[in-house]
């Protein structure tokens, strides 16, 4: 084998590792090859994008900044540098870079796509849609552009546009099974979508699909069987889908356990007494958190229907600000304490809320992971409130298991035993914070909220020092705030009570 063939083989290995989401191996392998090539656009981008995919945002920013300075004429470096800036919450700088790129190169599709995603992140969906439509004028069959349009339409609850766009994606590439999964969340296969159901079965049996593509399809087929009340077939497909994802992600519970111990240790440290919190503006935030699929979207819809409250959705602003500090990911107490003293976390988070709406004084933030961070909330946002949703373990477990949550922080959701372990960890966090900060923390039982919506909602509003408005009970009529979670399709409906006992349909199949 000659040198050129050997190099091609090594590049293909990098591609395969990236496709299978083995990002740490991509970084180490690409760095070795880059030493031989000095500047190779493909390798540079693979390294930086892999950093982003594993949550190493500062490393990605530093990496792309270095190469964009060295090679300013390589457009992809500047484009990905903007992506890294966005990941580090440097939104204005990222936006300027992308706008400059598009001035120089108006038909640069990746730039249009990334600027649209930035607008979407800032909840400016109409601007994002306009940019993506410009992209389609350049390339009407660009699947990535169409897929990002689907995300905007989903958030705005434009169901027909979602379905039509997904159908177009599937026509262009039948293996793009994310589109099938999105459609499955909209259809009730007991009443509609018969043709799509048979198409999915045919694809599963006849197409050569990757593990990820197959997993998407199995989740969708499981949903279809559940709609048809064939719970045994539904569970079999859910189980296969989760098993494929679980093997791809290689989750280790010890990491989350270590994270719990680290946060408890930080909170028990006198670090918070020594932090100087500078506040240029005061805003009240109602943090709504809990396990995934526990009713957080429903509660946020009820609260943010209030005339004086703005929904920010699932932002993860606080978690991202803390994650960017040295020592947080590694659970290194000394490094983290040194790092946090130099940062104004409060202003960093508030600046991001201001990007959504600079005039609103009260926001809801539905970032699930905030149940871990209540010590930081107490320090930085003492005038705010935290509502923790708690759902019955069995029904919560089932709802997690049958929905692909697709986020870096949710690797544990593809294995029943890991779900139980994380649920128990969640209970530990909740019990700890309730005892420590009863003035800002309220636990809300999902089942109670669904059965007694009005009385519980009034208690919640009273706890949050917010006056009651009767329109809050009719959120499905009055609340048009964007929703990017899996619950978007339920937001236009009244309180949904059937899910309370959904576990009973699957109890014979679930073994923990």
The pLDDT of residue 131 is above 90: yes
pLDDT single digits (tens) 413-442: 999 999 999 999 999 999 999 999 999 999
Phi-psi region of 427 (alpha: psi -120 to 50; beta: other; left: phi over 0): alpha
Q: Strand 441-445 vs strand 310-311: parallel, antiparallel, or unpaired?
A: unpaired
Any idea which of 138-142, 263-267, 284-288 has the lowest mean pLDDT?
Answer: 263-267
Phi-psi region of 384 (alpha: psi -120 to 50; beta: other; left: phi over 0): beta
More confident of the two residues 346 and 44: 44
Place of tokens 């259809």: 187
What's the average model confidence in pLDDT over 348-357? 84
Alpha carbons 453 and 448: distance in angstroms, whole number: 7
The pLDDT of residue 488 is above 60: no
Q: Which range has the top average pLDDT, 195-204, 310-319, 472-481? A: 195-204
Asked if 74 and 67 count as a contact pair (C-beta separation under 8 A), the reply is: yes
| Rg (alpha carbons) of the chain, rounded to whole number | 23
Alpha carbons 48 and 84: distance in angstroms, whole number: 8
The pLDDT of residue 279 is above 80: no
Q: Domains in the chain, please, with CATH?
A: 1-106 (1.25.40.10), 255-505 (3.40.50.300)
Q: Of 405, 492, 500, 495, which Cα lies nearest the Cα of 157?
A: 492
The pLDDT of residue 197 is above 80: yes
**What pLDDT, on the 0 to 100 scale, is given for residue 184?**
97
Using CA atoms in the order 58, 61, 66, 69, what is the torsion angle rounded to 10 degrees?
-150
Question: Token pair for residue 466?
Answer: 């917010």
Three-class DSSP category at 355: helix
Q: Strand 310-311 vs strand 284-290: parallel, antiparallel, or unpaired?
A: unpaired
The pLDDT of residue 408 is above 80: no
More confident of the two residues 111 and 8: 111
Using CA atoms, how far residue 352 sits from 22, 200, 382, in Å, is 31, 41, 18
Q: Of 13, 8, 39, 41, which Cα lies nearest the Cα of 26?
A: 13
**What pLDDT, on the 0 to 100 scale, is given for residue 487?**
58
Residue 495 banded pLDDT, cuts 50, 70, 90: low
**What pLDDT, on the 0 to 100 scale, is given for residue 278?**
65
Residue 497 banded pLDDT, cuts 50, 70, 90: low
Residue 357 banded pLDDT, cuts 50, 70, 90: confident
What's the average model confidence in pLDDT over 143-163? 95
pLDDT single digits (tens) 71-103: 999 999 999 999 999 988 888 899 999 999 999
Asked if 218 and 238 count as a contact pair (C-beta separation under 8 A), the reply is: yes
Tell me how far apart the terminal alpha carbons of the chain are, to the nearest angstrom: 51
Asked if 51 and 67 count as a contact pair (C-beta separation under 8 A), the reply is: no
């Amino acid at each position: 084998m000659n040198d050129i063939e050997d190099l091609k083989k090594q590049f293909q290995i990098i591609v395969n590792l990236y496709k299978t989401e083995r990002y740490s191996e991509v970084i180490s392998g690409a760095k070795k090859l880059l030493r031989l090539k000095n500047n190779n656009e493909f390798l540079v981008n693979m390294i930086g994008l892999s950093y982003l995919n594993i949550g190493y945002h500062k490393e990605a920013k530093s990496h792309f900044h270095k190469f964009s300075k060295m090679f300013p004429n390589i457009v992809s470096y500047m484009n990905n540098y903007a992506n890294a800036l966005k990941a580090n919450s440097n939104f204005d700088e990222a936006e300027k870079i992308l706008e400059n790129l598009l001035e120089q190169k108006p038909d640069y599709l990746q730039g249009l796509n990334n600027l649209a995603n930035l607008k979407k992140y800032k909840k400016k969906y109409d601007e994002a849609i306009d940019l993506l439509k410009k992209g389609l004028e350049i390339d009407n069959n660009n699947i990535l552009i169409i897929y990002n349009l689907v995300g905007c339409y989903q958030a705005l609850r434009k169901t027909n546009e979602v379905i039509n766009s997904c159908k177009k994606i599937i026509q262009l590439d039948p293996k793009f099974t994310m589109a099938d999964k999105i459609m499955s969340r909209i259809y009730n296969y007991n009443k509609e979508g018969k043709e799509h159901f048979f198409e999915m079965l045919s694809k599963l049996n006849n197409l050569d699909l990757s593990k990820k593509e197959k997993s998407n399809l199995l989740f969708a087929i499981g949903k279809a069987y559940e709609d048809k009340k064939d719970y045994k077939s539904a569970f079999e497909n859910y189980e296969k889908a989760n098993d494929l994802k679980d093997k791809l992600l290689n989750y280790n519970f010890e990491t989350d356990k270590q994270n719990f111990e680290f946060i408890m240790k930080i909170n028990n440290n006198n670090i918070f007494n020594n932090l100087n919190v500078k506040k240029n503006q005061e805003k009240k935030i109602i943090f709504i958190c809990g396990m995934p699929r526990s009713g957080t979207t429903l509660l946020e819809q009820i609260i943010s229907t209030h005339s004086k409250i703005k929904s920010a959705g699932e932002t993860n602003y606080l978690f991202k600000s803390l994650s960017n500090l040295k020592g947080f990911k590694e659970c290194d107490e000394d490094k983290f304490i040194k790092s946090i003293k130099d940062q104004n976390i409060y202003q960093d988070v508030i600046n991001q809320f201001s990007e959504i709406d600079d005039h609103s004084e009260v926001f809801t933030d539905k970032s699930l992971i905030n149940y871990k961070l209540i010590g930081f909330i107490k320090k930085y946002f003492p005038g705010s409130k935290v509502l923790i949703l708690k759902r019955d373990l069995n029904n919560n477990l089932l709802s997690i298991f049958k929905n692909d949550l697709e986020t870096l922080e949710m690797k544990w959701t593809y294995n029943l035993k890991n779900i139980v372990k994380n649920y128990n960890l969640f209970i530990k966090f909740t019990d700890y914070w309730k005892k420590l900060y009863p003035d800002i923390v309220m636990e809300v039982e999902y089942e109670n909220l669904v059965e007694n919506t009005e009385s519980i909602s009034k208690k919640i509003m009273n706890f949050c020092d917010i006056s009651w408005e009767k329109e809050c009970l009719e959120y499905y009529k009055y609340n048009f705030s964007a929703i990017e979670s899996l619950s978007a399709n339920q937001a236009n409906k009244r309180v949904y009570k059937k899910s309370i006992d959904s576990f009973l349909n699957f109890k014979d199949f679930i073994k923990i």
